[in-house]
Amino acid sequence: MSVSEDDHRGLLIVYATETGNAQDAADYIARQCRRIAFQCRVVNIDSFLLPDLLSETIVIFVVSTTGSGVEPRSMTPLWTSLLRGDLPTDTFEDLYFSVFGLGDTAYEKFCWAAKKLSRRLESIGGIEFYMRGEGDEQHPLGIDGALQPWTDGLINKLLEVAPLPPGEEIKPINDVPLPRVLLKDTSKTALNHSADPLKSDLQYHKAIVKKNDRITAADWYQDVRHLVFDFQDNIQYSPGDVAVIHPVALEHDVDAFLVTMSWQNIADEPFEIEQAMYDQSLPDHLPPITTLRTLFTRFLDFNAVPRRSFFQYLRYFTSDEREQEKLDEFLSAAGADELYEYCYRVRRTIHEVLSEFRHVKIPKGYIFDVFPPLRPREFSIASSIKTHLHQIHLCVAIVKYRTKLKIPRKGVCTYYLSILKPGDTLLVGIRRGLLRLPGKNDTPVIFIGPGTGIAPMRSAIEQRIANGCHENTLYFGCRSASKDQHYGSEWQAYAANQELKYRSAFSRDGVEGEARVYVQDLIRQDSERIWDLVGHHKAWVLVSGSSNKMPAAVKDAVAYAVEKYGGLSAEEAKEYVHLMVKEGRLIEECWS
């Protein structure tokens, strides 16, 4: 690899993400590359087009994967352009690239989007100058388990390609990096006149809570809510789309955190935010003038389990020798197991860590470097606009659990939703989802949505029935018919009207000692009908729910039907199902 003098200190880092992890990883890579005097730019792939790539020399892609090996939605326009058949094989002959993928080995197609991007860029002339990295959420240290060693290798490779300029030295890792913002004190009058960017975002709409009903039995271990939001705006969405909600931290939690940080006396003093490091991101919809209380209520997450880089910042900002020794141990290669035991295995939060490292004093200007963004959450819409005009329904499992330290935990966003009351207002965004319906109304659809995976299926089924489509089959699975059969009465009513064939599996209601029955077992039982729908009538199959073993087991069950009644070999049946995925007739939207 060789690059020109004009280009060899410039580096573009492009991230594509659904959850924000790729953005965090891109920020980390940029910080490390700055240590070797590279000029970094970090951009979201949704603002990046194919012609932009032609003018770049060295590009690092940080790409997450969604669903069944699908690229993030923000990446789709660029990915579609890259797949054009008329692109010459030397299109990117001057492009040197590397890819870091983010994934989860609980998914069948681990880091698939990163692998596809790497192969495609090479096929049209790009040169992969450094090996692809693959971060796994299942690693004891999460994505950091692969990201940090991969980045160390990247730094070494970049130094081979472009040695440090005369007079420059590698900045030691223990040198405190410059903060990404400058904070300037301002007046309360300026604060009162500061606009809230979320309120001016046309993708968000004012919602009024109409219902917030628990739909699991009162004595059931899991609290699942049916939420109904009313809108005055003429909102539009399609089955499979998602509602985007910005969580709000509880007031008493914020107060307790501010006390821990000794910021309670300055929590309401306004300041202006000026970005200093443009290769480092800031939270979405951040107002230009704000306060610490507002930031930790809406924009910065002190309840998250910290990443390894968080402990590096603690090392910068503690004056206590024992804390320094402990942090040095956590950050060493030999201390990875101890860091895992202390933090990740027991899911210790940022607030809890800071409560124990009492001598850490984080300068106010470093808050965006130390604390991760409190990112918006996405929930599959569980209603059709044709059936519920000016409304969005959600089906949300409220996250509650106890850690290995027996400390109760609650999901920040789901708990926020759980305490909403009729009449409360919030802003809700609408974003395109992965699932979609066939263009022809007479195409049969097989819906598979166990648990809260039923949410997008309810939206699609309501839409189909409103359009007069009655070739619908729903496979729903839960533990108990009487405890957590979400929307069971609706499915039974549709079935009685011959608008839906409803098949349900209740895994804990069977006779003790007998094998439990899941949705994939029902599909195998119905294999003759499944082949008739899929093989003869070209039915679509939509799958939503947990990514553990269910999606792969469902595809195996469909392949079984194809083999048994379609007259194909086992290998041909698997290829048939693979072709359904490729054609878009089998679509998954699953999560870990």
Binding residues, by number, are 17-22, 64-67, 137, 347, 377-380, 411-414, 452, 507-508, 516-520, 591
Q: Which helix (H) or strand (E) holds 472?
A: strand 472-478
CA 523 – CA 556 distance, rounded (Å)? 10
Taking a C-beta distance cutoff of 8 angstroms, is the pair 433, 70 a contact?
A: no
Pairing of strands 586-591, 127-128: unpaired
- Measure CA 250 to chain center: 23
Question: For residue 174, what are the contacts with CB-CB under 8 A and spacing of at least 6?
Answer: 315, 316
Give the CA radius of gyration of the chain: 26
Q: Are 103 and 135 in contact (CB under 8 A)?
A: yes
Strand partners, 64: 102
Q: What is the DSSP letter of 365?
A: G
Beta partners for 134?
101
Residues in CB range of 109: below 8 A, 6 or more apart: 65, 68, 69
Is residue 52 within 8 A of residue 88, CB to CB? The reply is: no
Q: Report DSSP state, residue 535.
A: I
C-alpha span between 115 and 100 (Å, rounded): 9
Rounded distance between C-alpha atoms, residue 344 and residue 308, angstroms: 10
Nearest-angstrom CA–CA distance, 456 and 544: 8
Hey, what are 158's tokens?
Answer: 């970049």
Which single residue is written with the structure tokens 């219902």?
211
Apex CA 564: angle with CA 562 and CA 565, to 5°? 70
The binding site for FAD comprises: 347, 377-380, 411-414, 591
The residue type of 283 is P
CB environment 549-560: b (16+ within 10 A), e (fewer): ebbbbbbbbbbb
Name the residue type at position 585: R
* Cα–Cα distance measured from residue 375 to residue 282, given in angstroms and rounded to the nearest whole number: 11
Q: Which residues are CB-neighbours of 313 under 8 A, at least 6 positions away?
A: 362, 366, 369, 370
127-128 and 96-103 as β-strands: parallel, antiparallel, unpaired? parallel
262: left (phi over 0), alpha (psi -120 to 50) or beta: left
Residue list for the binding site for FMN: 17-22, 64-67, 137
Please report the sign of the dihedral spanned by the C-alpha atoms of residue 449, residue 454, residue 459, residue 461: positive
Say if residue 255 is exposed, middle or buried (CB neighbours under 10 Å; 0-12, 13-18, 19+): middle
β-sheet bridge partners, residue 540: 445
What count of Cα atoms within 13 Å lies in the side-chain half-sphere of residue 586?
Answer: 21
The SS3 assignment for 431 reads: strand
AA identity, residue 360: V
Residues making up the binding site for NADP(+): 452, 507-508, 516-520
As given in the structure block, the two tokens for residue 458 are: 């309810």
The helix/strand/coil state of 221 is coil
Neighbouring CB atoms inside 10 A of 122's CB total 13
